[in-house]
Structure 1
Amino acid sequence: MDQYYILGRIGEGAHCIIFKAKYVETGDIVALKKVALRRLEDGILNQALREIKALQEIEDNQFVVQLKPVFPHGAGFVLAFEFMLSDLAEVVCHAQRPLAPAQVKSYLQMLLKGVAFCHANNIVHRDLKTANLLINASDQFKIADFGLARVFSPDGSRLYTHQVATRWYRAPELLYGARQYDQGVDLYLGFCDLWAVGCIMGELLNGSPLFPGENDIEQLCCVLHILGTPSPQVWPEITELPDYNKISFKEQAPVPLEEVLSDASLQALDLLAQFLLYPPCQRIAASQAFLYQYFFTAPLPAHPSELPIPQRPGGPAPMAHQGPPHVHDFHVDRPLEELLLDPELIWPFIPEG
């Protein structure tokens, strides 16, 4: 089936390649995420299906990337998405440092509205980071990459791996090995997203990651260096985490955030502090955060026309491939409905590590 014409390769991950393509029938530009399934036991199938399931659960929203057709291709799958020019990580990298306060407010407000929408629709992302926040040429902002996302389970009794979220944005309870979420999974899982939002906010204010650890132990050290050593008095649940007694750190007091981010306003730091809290249940909800007074005081969030123009590393977008179109066509062999109906494919137990 001659559906798509490849225009260029725009990125890749550990198990996928992303192409810029044109949908022949309409001329729409899309991003095609081709997921390779070399070995089913690698769990890549489950990750792809989780992303599909999560995005299918969410109605169209201006702050969440839109999933278009999904189809098998060879020994893998292809997910078609609306095309986005760049991501927030590239904006932070290429923009004047730090971003202007009004620009930080604008990006953060859009992020919070997207996260609030996901949580209200029973989806937790679990891998929020600047590289997964996409931006198009009109500065529309979209949360993307739902490969680690979960649809909330009402029984709150599932086991999940603690190795979720890219390390710099990983919540401290995950660094201490939290796996069992039994305190209302629809709330508890979302707390990890909220920590990641705080890390993203800190990165926008700082112009670089707030906690740039190179391994899990160093990641904890980065967090403790700023927030101080957690204690059972401040965080009672910490003693129940699997790795609490395996890791020992020198006692250190927290560093005031105004010393860490000396150019940030007091209102910005006050909101940031509501996310970067050790007890997960005390972190501010996204739906409350985007109504915070911080967003309604001067300078107000910037209009999209006042935001930096996103760039792709290495210059302009790739030129169209001039070879015969059929070389890159994706053929639809069979639908995925029978796979998506199998709950075991959507809710697998993920072993430690």
Structure 2
Amino acid sequence: MDQYIILGRIGEGAHGIVFKAKNIETGETVALKKVALRRLDDGIPNQALREIKALQEIEENPHVVKLKAVFPHGAGFVLVFEYMLSDLAEVIRNAQQPLTQAQVKGSTGQLKIADFGLARLFSSDDSRLYSHQVATRWYRAPELLYGARRYDEGVDLWAVGCIFAELLNNSPLFPGENDIEQLCCVLRILGTPTQHTWPELPELPDYNKICFKQKPPVPLEEVLPDAPPQSLQLLRCFLLYPSRERVRAAQALVHPYFFTAPLPAHHSELPVPQRGSRMARQGPQHQHDFHVERPVEKSVVDPELVAPYVVWG
């Protein structure tokens, strides 16, 4: 720890405290996650090992927060991550007004996935079992709420849909207080699933442990009245009961929603709150941090995929 100066506290998770720090030698600002071991004989917790292993497997991915180093410290160890100015929850919570559609679409900022404490390396082997107690409850896919132990990347795509709805509405779509209420929140909007709408439903472990009254789905236009039609079309593609029918990430990125007016805002137009502050600060104050000079063509996922959707004037 001698090579770092602690600049402040960012937050606290289930297995550690996260600090903002600066590397004395390089001047680089980083995030330090200090994990304490309850008993030295137990070694490093499985969740921490999974987080380290998952981050090492995908360390070249530009959309994942980079793990820079791991070292022992006292009765525990420290994970060194690249530092991000804020997290998406803070942006939504501290924005002085709901995000505009252009800001929701914003394509040139740096949005990265972090916190891999519950991550597991995925295998296409259908016989492999996973825990169903994963993901923050509000973003947990319905198959997990029904106790599924075999699932695929569809659980993450469901979570993306929930986050997208929250960006559109400035509030969570399914804010359940417990697992049963969470399932009720989903059914209240999407309607009660049947074998016709969800063929795999009877195979789930907790199917028939609790019965729900048959209710039709509520049109998303009524749930999110201020959202434009194309955003709701994309949202429907994520929020489907059958996991395999949910839109794939690559397909979602080229949905017409992203290529119709208003076009995505530049990241200098996005609200970037200071950590611990209730007031949102506008992006231009952070232009250097967000590399405004980066060419637009380097911010697009795949120009060849995007080209058919672009209308040239």
TM-score (norm 2): 0.84
Q: CA deviation at 1:315?
A: 6.4
- Does the alignment pair 1:151 with 2:121? yes
Report the counterpart of residue 280 of structure 1 in structure 2: 243
Alpha carbons of 1:204 and 1:21: their partners in 2 closer, same or farther (altered >3 Å)?
Answer: same
- Contact 1:94-1:311 within 8 A present in 2 as well: no
CA–CA distance in 1 between the matches of 2:51 and 2:268?
31
Report the counterpart of residue 85 of structure 2 in structure 1: 85
Report the counterpart of residue 300 of structure 2 in structure 1: none
- Contact 2:85-2:272 within 8 A present in 1 as well: no
- Which of the two has greater helix per residue? 1
* Fraction of identical pairs, as percent: 74
- Contact 2:5-2:23 within 8 A present in 1 as well: yes
- Does the alignment pair 1:12 with 2:19? no
- Contact 2:40-2:75 within 8 A present in 1 as well: no
Report the counterpart of residue 22 of structure 1 in structure 2: 22
CA–CA distance in 1 between the matches of 2:239 and 2:103?
21
SS in 2 for 1:247: coil
Amino acid at match of 1:92: I
Alpha carbons of 1:152 and 1:226: their partners in 2 closer, same or farther (altered >3 Å)?
Answer: same
CA–CA distance in 1 between the matches of 2:266 and 2:75?
44
Report the counterpart of residue 60 of structure 1 in structure 2: 60
Q: Which runs of 5+ in 1 are unaligned?
A: 111-138, 182-187, 317-353
Write the deviation string for residues 240-299 of structure 1: whole angstroms up to 9, x where unpaired: 111111011111100000110011111000000000000000000011100111111111
- Does the alignment pair 1:208 with 2:178? no
SS in 1 for 2:102: helix
How many residue pairs are counted as aligned between the two chains?
279
Write the deviation string for residues 163-214 of structure 1: whole angstroms up to 9, x where unpaired: 0000000000000000134xxxxxx2x1000000000000000100000000
Greater relative contact order, per chain length (Cα 8 Å cut-off, separation 6+):
1
Report the counterpart of residue 70 of structure 2 in structure 1: 70
- Contact 2:195-2:201 within 8 A present in 1 as well: yes
SS in 2 for 1:254: coil
Identify which range, 267-276 or 69-78, moves more after superposition: 69-78
Amino acid at match of 1:79: L
TM-score (norm 1): 0.75
Report the counterpart of residue 295 of structure 1 in structure 2: 258
Aligned pairs for 1:209-228 (under 5 A) are 209-228=172-191
- Does the alignment pair 1:267 with 2:237? no
Write the deviation string for residues 227-247 of structure 1: whole angstroms up to 9, x where unpaired: 000001110111011111101
Q: CA deviation at 1:8?
A: 1.8
- Work out which of the residue numbers 285, 291, 307 in structure 1 matches 2:270: 307
SS in 2 for 1:258: helix
Report the counterpart of residue 289 of structure 2 in structure 1: none
Amino acid at match of 1:88: L
Alpha carbons of 1:163 and 1:90: their partners in 2 closer, same or farther (altered >3 Å)?
Answer: same
- Contact 1:15-1:44 within 8 A present in 2 as well: no
Q: Which runs of 5+ in 2 are unaligned?
A: 280-313
Q: CA deviation at 1:58?
A: 1.2
SS in 1 for 2:112: strand
